[in-house]
Amino acid sequence: MRTTVGIIGGGPAGLLLARLLHRAGIDSVVLESRDRAYAEGRQRAGVLEQGTVDVLRACGAGERMGRQGLVHHGIELRFDRRAHRVDLSSLTGGRTVMIYAQTEVVKDLIALQLADGGPLFFEARALSVEGADTERPVVRFLRGGREQTLECDYVVGCDGFHGIARNAVPEAVRRTYERGYPYSWLGVLADVPPSCEELTYAHSARGFALHSMRSPTVSRLYLQVPTGEDVAAWPDERIWDELDARLAVDGPWRLERGPITAKSVLPMRSWVIEPMRHGRLLLAGDAAHIVPPAGAKGLNLAVGDVVVLARALAALKETGSTAALDAYSTTCLRRVWRAEHFSYLMTTTLHTEPGQSPFATRLQLAQLDRIASSTAAATELAQNYAGLPFG
Task: Compute the residue count for the chain.
Answer: 391
- Side-chain-side CA neighbours of 143 within 13 Å: the count stands at 19
Helix (H) / strand (E) element for 10: namely none
Other beta carbons within 10 Å of 178? 10
The upper half-sphere exposure of residue 330, i.e. CA atoms within 13 Å in the direction of its Cβ, equals 5
Q: In what order do the strands lie in the sheet with 74-79?
A: 82-87, 74-79, 200-202, 209-215, 218-226, 183-190, 260-266
- Quick check: helix, strand or coil at residue 129? strand
Q: With contact defined as beta carbons under 8 Å apart, do 147 and 141 qualify?
A: yes
CA 3/CA 348 separation, integer angstroms: 44
Which residues belong to the active site?
72, 201, 293, 297, 385
Strand residues in 131-275 grouped as ranges (E): 138-143, 146-157, 175-180, 183-190, 200-202, 209-215, 218-226, 260-266, 269-274
Please check whether residue 23 is in contact with residue 116, taking contact to mean a CB–CB distance below 8 angstroms.
no
Q: How far apart are CA 112 and CA 15, in angstroms?
A: 9
For residue 129, what are the β-bridge partners?
139
Give 106's contacts (C-beta < 8 A, 6+ positions apart).
10, 11, 12, 15, 39, 40, 42
Contact between residue 233 and residue 263 where contact means Cβ atoms under 8 Å apart: no
* Closest alpha carbon to 208 in 323, 337, 295: 295
